[in-house]
Amino acid sequence: MLRGSKQLKVGLRVHDLDRSCALYLKLGFKQIPHPDQPTLRYLTYGHTWLILSGLYTHGYHNAGREQAAKTGPVGSGFVLAIPTDDLDGVYRLWKEEGLPVTLEPEDVFWARIFYGLDPDGYEIMFEQHYEELRPLPMQAAT
């Protein structure tokens, strides 16, 4: 099996490869260096790959998709969910980077979450699962 052939891979077209790459590295992603591909940045988070490609410098396979990517709103309906063990720290980082928060931190049934937009407008949900915040409640004996 080829290295990386069975992992889920997500690709995002971005305006500034270096800025986006630096932000995702601050969030805990790891970079796989590929100096032979200057219009791409390969990042991993666990077993998932995030491939950043230059919006204007990396080739497209379809002219219609290229036009849509360059002129339309990016990623409408797409949400990248990133788990964290420090939601408050990620929230502070987001604010320090001057990035928009679209949903302030709140508790939902499985985690504490917030939503924000990355530098290119892709929506990201950060989630800190409750077992990382406090011990799980004991179940009643049956």
Q: Bridge-partner residues for 117, per DSSP? A: 123
What's the average model confidence in pLDDT over 77-94? Answer: 94
What are the structural domain ranges in the chain?
8-58, 78-135
Asked if the domains 8-58 and 78-135 are classified in one and the same CATH topology, the answer is: yes
Percentage of the residues of the chain whose pLDDT score is greater than 70: 89
- Whether domain 8-58 has CATH 3.10.270.10: no
Rounded CA-CA distance 132/129 in Å is 6
Token pair of 70 as six digits: 């360059």
Q: Is the pLDDT of residue 18 over 50?
A: yes
**Mean of all residue pLDDT scores within the chain:** 87
pTM: 0.79
Q: What is the pLDDT of residue 95?
A: 97
Task: Centre a 10 Å sphere on the Cβ of residue 111 and count the other Cβ atoms it contains.
Answer: 20
Task: Give the contacts of 101 (CB within 8 A, at least 6 positions apart).
Answer: 91, 94, 95, 114, 115, 116
Q: Is the pLDDT of residue 37 over 80?
A: yes
Which CATH architecture does the domain made up of 78-135 adopt? Roll (3.10)
In total, the chain counts a number of residues equal to: 142
**Over 80: is that where the pLDDT of 9 sits?**
yes
* pLDDT tens, position by position, 25-35: 999 999 999 98
